[in-house]
Amino acid sequence: MNTTIIDAKERLLTKEELSYLKETIKSGGLVIFPTETVYGLGANALSPTAAEKVYAAKGRPSNNPLIIHIKNPEDAEKFCKTNEIYKSLAKEFMPGPLTVILEKKDIIPFEVTGGLDTVAVRCPAHPIALQLIGECGLPIAAPSANLSGRPSPTSAKYCIEDMDGRVDAIIDGGESEIGLESTIVMPKDDGRILLLRPGAITPKEISKATGCKVEIAEGVLEEPEKDATPLSPGMLYKHYAPKTEFVLLSGSDEEIFAFLKEEKNSIFLGFDGDEKSVPAGVTLINIGKRNEPLSTAHRIFASLREADKQNKRVIFARLPGTDGVELALYNRMIRASAHRIHTLKRN
């Protein structure tokens, strides 16, 4: 397949581009588009065959459901049963980096939801994404636009790396603003909200907007049990993983840099200022500013991809904390490292 690349950095799509993209989506094709979180691999969410193409292009198991992207929060009603919690969340956070799981209506095929009775809905805050969804007049099913298992793409170049020749078009809208996928929540009948995937919108903010208790689902902070059936099927799969071994270090800066002295030919994903302390033989990749987890969110996936290309023996990073936005970093990094955490002890 020939992939058309549309350079739309710092501009909107033209009428001609929109009409080509609409034609592509309506005829069951695949279009990669930018969102504020990460790039999405989009298809008509009302078409079972289009959904099957998405799974095939990503190499993703078809029981791992897709998120449907809508133009207006009110459109959710056409595709699923909304409730008061959804309305409060929509009012506060949409358009934005939040996905809500709701009971699906018949119009959404089971191929999109991986056989589940629920569907994930999100209204992205990106002008190009909203233009595309609006032009098509359809909900767009879109997983992150990476090959299954690889870090989510935060710029068009990583979409091209993974997906050139596998999709009809890639819209280059520049770097993703946030860099981590949306926060996913599941409102429960008893008024609790389950957090299935942490993101830039934090449990505290969700609780404040809804007045509901937010519980962190199993598998967010720890490895799911082998035969578990997590609420979010995606938690079961290996994800974000570089090919190079990736190990998280738990300890003070002093302990970490003492440890790294013995780890030649490695990479350290560190903060601004670490260049003063990183020992010889260790390559520093800057992943942002200490105490500014959003700056790390923005860079983490690109850093993992770039670190992997250097073919070093091993990649190290600090184990993040679990408060606020750091919870999302913690979740992505323990999964990218396949839960390899090395705890350093002062001798």
Query: Residue numbers of the site for ligand TXA (CB under 6 A)?
Result: 35, 37-38, 40, 64-67, 99, 101, 113, 116, 118-120, 122, 124, 142-144, 181-182, 184, 196, 231-234
Q: Is 266 in the site for Mg ion (CB under 5 A)?
A: no
Kindly indicate which of the ranges 137-145, 196-204, 206-214, 286-294 contains the residues binding Mg ion, using the contact rule CB under 5 A.
137-145
| Count of positions on this chain that bind Mg ion (CB under 5 A) | 1
**Is 144 or 202 the residue whose CB approaches Mg ion more closely?**
144
Kindly indicate which of the ranges 112-120, 139-147, 266-274, 323-331 contains the residues binding Mg ion, using the contact rule CB under 5 A.
139-147
Q: Select from ligand TXA, Mg ion, none the partner in contact with residue 284, using the beta carbon and a kind-dependent cut-off of 5 to 8 Å.
A: none
**Is 268 or 330 the residue whose CB approaches ligand TXA more closely?**
330
Binding residue (CB under 5 A) for Mg ion from 82, 113, 144, 202: 144
Contact between 29 and 88 under an 8 Å Cβ cutoff? The reply is no
Q: Tokens for 162? A: 């993974």
Q: Which residue's Cβ lies closest to ligand TXA?
A: 234
Q: Select from ligand TXA, Mg ion, none the partner in contact with residue 266, using the beta carbon and a kind-dependent cut-off of 5 to 8 Å.
A: none
Instruction: Kindly tell me the burial class for residue 313, based on how many C-beta atoms sit within 10 Å of its own C-beta (0-12, 13-18, 19 or more).
Output: exposed
**Is 40 or 270 the residue whose CB approaches ligand TXA more closely?**
40
What is the smallest separation between the CB atom of 157 and ligand TXA, expressed in angstroms? 17
Q: Select from ligand TXA, Mg ion, none the partner in contact with residue 45, using the beta carbon and a kind-dependent cut-off of 5 to 8 Å.
A: none
Distance CA 178, CA 90 (A): 19
Residues near 288 by beta carbon (within 8 Å), at least 6 away in sequence? 271, 272, 295, 296, 297, 298, 299
Distance CA 332, CA 347 (A): 30
Q: Select from Mg ion, ligand TXA, none the partner in contact with residue 293, using the beta carbon and a kind-dependent cut-off of 5 to 8 Å.
A: none
**Is 230 or 251 the residue whose CB approaches ligand TXA more closely?**
230
**Is 99 or 266 the residue whose CB approaches ligand TXA more closely?**
99
Q: Tokens for 264? A: 């030649």
**Is 176 or 266 the residue whose CB approaches Mg ion more closely?**
176
What is the smallest separation between the CB atom of 180 and Mg ion, expressed in angstroms? 11
**Is 174 or 233 the residue whose CB approaches ligand TXA more closely?**
233
Kindly indicate which of the ranges 7-15, 141-149, 196-204, 250-258 contains the residues binding Mg ion, using the contact rule CB under 5 A.
141-149
What is the smallest separation between the CB atom of 65 and ligand TXA, expressed in angstroms? 3
Q: Please give the residues from 194 up to 213 whose contact with Mg ion meets the rule CB under 5 A.
A: none
Kindly indicate which of the ranges 130-138, 140-148, 197-205, 332-340 contains the residues binding Mg ion, using the contact rule CB under 5 A.
140-148
Residues near 329 by beta carbon (within 8 Å), at least 6 away in sequence? 180, 293, 296, 297, 300, 320
Distance CA 146, CA 41 (A): 8
What is the smallest separation between the CB atom of 336 and ligand TXA, expressed in angstroms? 14
For Mg ion, the binding residues (CB under 5 A) are 144
